[in-house]
């Protein structure tokens, strides 16, 4: 990678495009009219990141962008959990993976239990997201392959012989 000012400008645009929507949370607290807040938040979440992403691609160039992508993918592969997991761990993590569906049904069918203006609703949603992601990462590499197969059109299921310890 050539470390020119254009390269650093591209990196800055790429990073800013990823964190720009977070600034919408700050805008919501500003003493502006509702229309002004909505416009600024829309630009920060919809128009701004795309424009900065395009500018980053232009500044970085194809070679540098592919190198950055390769390094990020290598980092994500290292975060992938080891493949074999025990049956107990698999079952516990499946519960962790499916448990966040409960608050979703509560909010859909009994919204009075977690009203929109309640701070408890935010905490419940954050906890559900954390449990879901934790379960996803702890389920193991075999589950990642199963999950990936959901998005591959030609993927087929092959069941091996049943395990002896059922």
Q: Quick one: average pLDDT of 139-157?
A: 81
Positive/negative CA dihedral, 88, 92, 95, 96: negative
Domain residue limits, the chain: 5-79, 87-149
Say what the pTM is.
0.51
Query: 152: which residues sit within 8 A by CB, 6+ positions away?
Result: none
Residue 51's CB: how many other CB atoms inside 10 A? 14
What pLDDT sits at residue 91? 86
Contact 105, 143 (CB under 8 A): no
Q: What is the pLDDT of residues 52-105, one digit of tens each?
A: 999 999 998 888 888 888 988 888 777 665 567 788 888 888 888 888 888 888
51 pLDDT higher than 90: yes
């Amino acid at each position: 990678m050539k470390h020119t000012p254009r390269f650093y400008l591209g990196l800055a645009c790429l990073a800013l495009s990823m964190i720009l929507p977070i600034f919408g949370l700050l805008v919501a607290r500003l003493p502006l009219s509702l229309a002004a807040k909505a416009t600024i938040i829309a630009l920060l979440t919809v128009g701004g990141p795309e424009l900065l992403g395009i500018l980053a691609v232009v500044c970085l160039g194809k070679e540098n962008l592919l190198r950055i992508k390769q390094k990020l993918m290598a980092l994500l592969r290292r975060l992938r959990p080891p493949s074999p997991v025990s049956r107990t761990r698999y079952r516990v993590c499946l519960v962790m993976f499916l448990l966040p569906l409960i608050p979703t049904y509560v909010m859909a069918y009994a919204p009075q239990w977690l009203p929109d203006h309640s701070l408890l609703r935010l905490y419940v949603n954050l906890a559900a997201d954390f449990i879901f992601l934790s379960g996803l990462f702890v389920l193991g590499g075999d589950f990642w392959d199963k999950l990936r197969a959901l998005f591959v059109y030609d993927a087929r299921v092959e069941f091996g012989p049943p395990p002896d310890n059922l």
